Structure 1
Amino acid sequence: MKKLILPFIFLSIFSCQKEKPQVDAIVINANIYTLLDEFDKAEAFAIKDGRFFDLASSNELQEKYTADTIINAEGLTILPGLIDAHAHFLTLGQLQKQVNLIGTTSFDDMIMRVLDFHKEHNMPFIKGRGWDQNDWEDKNMPDKTILDKLFPNTPVALTRIDGHASFCNQAALDLGNVTINSTIEGGEVEVKDGKLTGILLDNAEQLVMNNWPEFNQEQLVEALLAAQKICFENGLTTISDAGPDIFTTPWIETIDLIDSLQKSGDLKMRLYMMVPGTETNLNHYLNKGITKTDRLNVRSFKFYADGALGSRGALLREPYSDKQDTYGLPVMSLNHIKNSASRIADSQFQMNTHAIGDSANHQVLLAYKDALLGKQDRRWRIEHAQVVSPEDFQYFDHILPSVQPTHATSDMYWAEDRVGEERIHGAYAYKKLLEQYGKIALGTDFPVEQVSPFLTFYAAVVRQDLEHYPEGGFQSENGLTRMEALKGMTIWAAYSNFEEEEKGSIEVGKLADFIIIDRDIMKVPIDDVPNTKVLQTYVGGEPQLN
């Protein structure tokens, strides 16, 4: 009998000592917000093949698995990789080769920056971006007289912060043969006292930009990689690229280039692409169908219903309160939007439309309603939803609001001047929009605003600038909770891209995109949140910061 039992005991002991399963990495001793449920937290997780493989305690995972890489977070906070639901990724990269006019305090400040740039680079064409006359003591749009004297032969085109107006000298205007009689649908060539001022609004920008030298492929690659570096430094792992400012950009070729860079491993950033809603792009992608990889998702079209509030291009139902002869501009015709909506509704593509003014929002919401005819879970989006009439909030029960909280804190100083004391109550109404749909996607709209998602978080919650103005917050009833803000930058942003099954939370089976930050933004004083530093950004379990 003993001889029969001993081999059995030996085999049992041997089987208990078999090797532990191998994973790629284990992260331990962390303060992890998983976003699985409200305030659900974890201490450790394992990663395998670029995805979250297991969540448990630090001891459990180390006893259960073996890994060549053990990351001891030492109590630091870990969040899912942050998702910017509306930004301009390529534009951010291109801006690194232009005059940076963000934060200019006057017209003279802007001109000095252009002169310094020209002295350093001596380029045959000068492009810049970022000025905002609302930040200057003289809040009138600039005039090109001085620019013409300083640069009589060098074309200069300086784009406003929102991308919806450009300030050009005569040499730039001559590229597009712009005269006082030039007209274009959805745009305006500004003329005062019978003379060109150099200001081109919305589609009028194309008159010059159609003739501006395009970026070559090498420059595009440099721009994409520059944008990637900036985004990783800010903890962003997915960007919803809302397309170029000027629709003449060859977007089909640009997306093909992005796909090739992602496949080669040079571009790690995950991108959700909004394709400009031109006839060429509609025909191409509706015929081709959705493109989806782990890093690239092409399944939406981007339209523009109007311009921007700051340049009085946003389309209003009643005149601007501070300019009674102006209603704003329809950048794309309503017929084009309606016809395109009908085509897109018969596909699986998403429709995303820039709508700032209450008239633009009203028209687009009704166009969406007619095209969808009760179709469920299409997740069509209004980008910005900035000024909404009281009776139109109801339509957001099935239309997803995609907003940028820092717009509220950038515009609050002058927004009421534009729309008046009644309409302002339907502006930047993020809490009300959230209550209607049940989710809200948050973005920055960079480079219109700064890249940092922690400024987005701060503005969404406290609705103040960094100087704590105004006391109590700007229309504070529309502030979000910290958890709502975090969801808007993670799981709800993923949902807005049809990607909630693969990202947006730290969950077994999802892509191992996460960040380690130097403070717990859910608990520190809210004024401390803008100072948050990203210590490391991981995409697919791989670190992206040196």
Structure 2
Amino acid sequence: MILIKTGLSLIAVTVLMSISAYATADTMIENANGYTLNRQQKLIRFDAIVFDDSGKITAVGRSKKLIRQFPLAQRINLHGKTLLPGLIDAHGHVLALGHHQAQLSLRDTRTLAEAQGRISDHAQRFPSQLWILGGEWNQVNWDSGRFPTAHDIDAVVSDRPVWLSRVDGHAAWANSRAMQLAGIGRDTPDPVGGKIERDAQGNPTGMLIDNAMDLIQAVIPPASDAGNRMALDAALLTLAQSGLTSVHDAGVSAEADRLFREYAANAKLSVRIYGMISGADDFFERISREGPLLSDGQDRYALRAVKLFADGALGSRGAALAAPYSDAPDTSGLLFQTKSAMAAMIKKAADKGYQVNVHAIGDAANRQILDGFAALPAAERTAARHRIEHAQVLAVEDIPRFKSLNIIPSMQPLHATSDMTMAEQRVGHERIKGAYAWRRYLKQGSRIACGSDFPVESANPFWGIHAAVTRRSRDGEPLHGWYADQAMTLTEAFRCFTLDAAYAAHQENIIGSLEKGKWADFIVVDRDMFTIPAQQIHQIQVVQTWLAGKVVYQNEAPSLK
């Protein structure tokens, strides 16, 4: 295991090494408070699990019976601690999570002045950084009542370029130096699918929306190989600490693909990654000649999906709506592609055998993507399990099309509790009925694949489960939940972070539940989420994370029988 500054202590590493040293043909975890789902997606209980030295499960059941059946198995006593299948995040950004940990965060700032102070402090602490990068700001939480401007950064840092993304990643805030290096001025046109915010005189304000962000991204020096490796190491540790044993990376670049394959080949990929190729352009053209990578052989890495974008985000008003924003009647957001162009991109990826997963937030964007999927052959749609990522705001009458077209809604429960302070302002009382509408999907029989969109939100899946069940903030607001009629039951939320997320990656036969023949991917946690009050679910802490029968993270050592 590679140590980084935020990594496990040397004591923990020694314990991990000792565990692997006494491995035998069969290992039994006994006296567990175990939960999993069966093939009928029903919650079942067990107190013992056995797996062999290949990392595959050989039996799940009751301790007394399995002790007789496997008398020579090495036995590890959990003393009643709760054991769950490894949780799955169906939408995240692995390298971005690692890089994020070394960048400036404005996530918890409550005023523009506080954000300016953070920027100034960071600049002073890191005088050698050529670019100040980071973000996670949310102007909705500030007292300014407006988007920030370049002048707001210039007042505290003007000698170096500063580039700070909004919390949703679909808008970013630049200072004047960054815009100068990118050549952005009064006469710079808005790119297709993007917008340069301008003042009354037509001058760029420093706020760039969606595809306009590429203008500055193009001049930022790329991360080095060493930097990407450090980011991957940091991300893998964070994910394992969070209790995640598999993640769906929603936008794999050529560099990320190279690293994921290398790490998988060298048994360094401590979290399974289901990759979505970022876009259908040059990298897709090269990599798709070989066809989808269904598995690396140990199911650590797969690259069998393509990620496309239909629109931006709701918070920055880049999400494409069929009618103008309720709080900004002069805009309806941005569609990134024409209907025919998007349909052609979907068909291009699907024809090469890839699952197509499309980011769509607004009702107009979702309708465009549903229309694009409808043009594909029905049998192909069913086999491919195409997805809409986010499926956030839909016309109520479009929701049944997910079921009829066999499209998976890939949704992030934390987005609802993060957006509830502004979502209804953006879309109004009527359109909000089709927003974050999990119950509508579940009632019609759609399988929801749940994720977080980390690092936009926390990678902690228990925060997501809490949001799905309560539709309340972690502070307990609002008391009775935000549109609580759309909440999930606890079993449904558990399923969407396990078996249904696995299904959305064509992996329900190898992970997602604890059954004979599947990988022994599981976690041990400090409390039973099925018995504690729902409002406490977000407080659950991971004690151990196991992948293929090996510990990849732990806060305390197991007890040998």
Same structural fold, with TM-score higher than 0.5 when normalized by the shorter chain: yes
SS in 2 for 1:480: coil
For 1:179-190, what aligned pairs fall within 5 Å after superposition?
A: 179-182=185-188, 183-190=190-197
Distance, in Å, in 2 between the alignment partners of 1:334 and 1:151 is: 42
Q: Which one-letter code corresponds to 1:135 in the other structure? A: N
Q: Which moved more, 1:304-313 or 1:57-66?
A: 57-66
Select which of 244, 247, 251 maps to 1:239: 247
Match of 2:487 in 1: 479
What's the offset of the Cα at 1:400? 0.5
Match of 2:144 in 1: 138
Match of 2:313 in 1: 308
Report the identity percentage.
37
Match of 2:386 in 1: 380
SS in 2 for 1:25: strand
For 1:453-468, what aligned pairs fall within 5 Å after superposition?
A: 453-468=461-476
Match of 1:436 in 2: 444
| Cα deviation 1:264-290 (Å, max 9, x = unaligned) | 122221101111123213322332111
Distance, in Å, in 1 between the alignment partners of 2:282 and 2:442 is: 34
For 1:66-145, what aligned pairs fall within 5 Å after superposition?
A: 66=71, 69-122=74-127, 123-145=129-151
Q: Which moved more, 1:505-514 or 1:287-296?
A: 287-296
Distance, in Å, in 1 between the alignment partners of 2:197 and 2:61 is: 63
| Cα deviation 1:481-534 (Å, max 9, x = unaligned) | 100000000000000000001000001110110000111111211111111010
Structure 1 unmatched runs, 5+? 1-20, 245-250
Distance, in Å, in 1 between the alignment partners of 2:393 and 2:158 is: 41
Question: Is residue 2:42 matched to residue 1:38?
Answer: yes
Give the length in aligned residue pairs. 520
Question: Is residue 2:350 matched to residue 1:342?
Answer: no
Distance, in Å, in 1 between the alignment partners of 2:219 and 2:72 is: 56
Question: Is residue 2:196 matched to residue 1:192?
Answer: no
Distance, in Å, in 1 between the alignment partners of 2:445 and 2:408 is: 6
Select which of 518, 528, 541 maps to 1:533: 541
Distance, in Å, in 2 between the alignment partners of 1:457 and 1:534 is: 14
Distance, in Å, in 1 between the alignment partners of 2:286 and 2:341 is: 17
SS in 1 for 2:95: helix
Contact 1:306–1:357 (Cα < 8 Å) also in 2:
yes
Contact 2:280–2:349 (Cα < 8 Å) also in 1:
no
Match of 1:353 in 2: 358
Q: Which one-letter code corresponds to 2:316 in the other structure? A: S
For 1:366-405, what aligned pairs fall within 5 Å after superposition?
A: 366-375=371-380, 376-397=382-403, 398-405=406-413
Distance, in Å, in 1 between the alignment partners of 2:72 and 2:133 is: 50
- After superposition, the Cα gap between the structure-2 partners of 1:385 and 1:158, relative to the gap in structure 1 and judged at 3 Å, is same
Select which of 57, 61, 70 maps to 1:56: 61
Select which of 257, 260, 276 maps to 1:258: 260
For 1:193-342, what aligned pairs fall within 5 Å after superposition?
A: 193-194=200-201, 195-243=203-251, 251-291=253-293, 292-293=295-296, 294-342=299-347
Match of 2:29 in 1: 27
| Cα deviation 1:58-100 (Å, max 9, x = unaligned) | 2332333255742211111111000000111111101112101
SS in 2 for 1:34: strand
Q: Which one-letter code corresponds to 2:184 in the other structure? A: V
Q: Which one-letter code corresponds to 2:200 in the other structure? A: D
What's the offset of the Cα at 1:150? 2.8
Contact 2:359–2:389 (Cα < 8 Å) also in 1:
yes
Match of 1:491 in 2: 499
SS in 1 for 2:384: coil
Match of 2:415 in 1: 407
Q: Which moved more, 1:370-379 or 1:23-32?
A: 370-379
Distance, in Å, in 2 between the alignment partners of 1:63 and 1:117 is: 61
Distance, in Å, in 1 between the alignment partners of 2:397 and 2:155 is: 51
SS in 2 for 1:129: strand
Question: Is residue 2:55 matched to residue 1:47?
Answer: no
- After superposition, the Cα gap between the structure-2 partners of 1:526 and 1:287, relative to the gap in structure 1 and judged at 3 Å, is same
Q: Which moved more, 1:331-340 or 1:528-537?
A: 331-340
SS in 2 for 1:150: coil
**What TM-score do the two structures reach when normalised by structure 1?**
0.92
Distance, in Å, in 2 between the alignment partners of 1:281 and 1:372 is: 26
Q: Which moved more, 1:192-201 or 1:351-360?
A: 192-201
Distance, in Å, in 1 between the alignment partners of 2:147 and 2:456 is: 18
Distance, in Å, in 2 between the alignment partners of 1:392 and 1:96 is: 39
Contact 1:180–1:189 (Cα < 8 Å) also in 2:
no
| Cα deviation 1:281-326 (Å, max 9, x = unaligned) | 3322332111122100100000110000000000000000001010
What's the offset of the Cα at 1:113? 1.4
What's the offset of the Cα at 1:437? 4.1
Contact 2:402–2:446 (Cα < 8 Å) also in 1:
no
SS in 1 for 2:444: helix
Q: Which one-letter code corresponds to 1:282 in the other structure? A: F
Q: Which one-letter code corresponds to 2:51 in the other structure? A: I
Distance, in Å, in 1 between the alignment partners of 2:401 and 2:243 is: 33
Distance, in Å, in 2 between the alignment partners of 1:370 and 1:437 is: 22
Distance, in Å, in 2 between the alignment partners of 1:325 and 1:495 is: 41
Question: Is residue 2:176 matched to residue 1:174?
Answer: no
Contact 2:276–2:306 (Cα < 8 Å) also in 1:
yes
* Aligned-residue CA RMSD (Å): 1.6
Distance, in Å, in 1 between the alignment partners of 2:155 and 2:535 is: 46
- After superposition, the Cα gap between the structure-2 partners of 1:146 and 1:388, relative to the gap in structure 1 and judged at 3 Å, is closer
Distance, in Å, in 2 between the alignment partners of 1:299 and 1:437 is: 25
Distance, in Å, in 2 between the alignment partners of 1:281 and 1:333 is: 22
SS in 2 for 1:127: strand
Q: Which one-letter code corresponds to 2:514 in the other structure? A: I
Contact 2:36–2:84 (Cα < 8 Å) also in 1:
yes
SS in 2 for 1:151: coil
Match of 1:12 in 2: none
- After superposition, the Cα gap between the structure-2 partners of 1:538 and 1:403, relative to the gap in structure 1 and judged at 3 Å, is same
Distance, in Å, in 2 between the alignment partners of 1:222 and 1:285 is: 25
Structure 2 unmatched runs, 5+? 1-22, 555-561
Distance, in Å, in 2 between the alignment partners of 1:215 and 1:434 is: 41
Contact 1:491–1:503 (Cα < 8 Å) also in 2:
yes
SS in 2 for 1:371: coil
Distance, in Å, in 1 between the alignment partners of 2:377 and 2:333 is: 27
SS in 2 for 1:62: helix
Q: Which moved more, 1:83-92 or 1:370-379?
A: 370-379
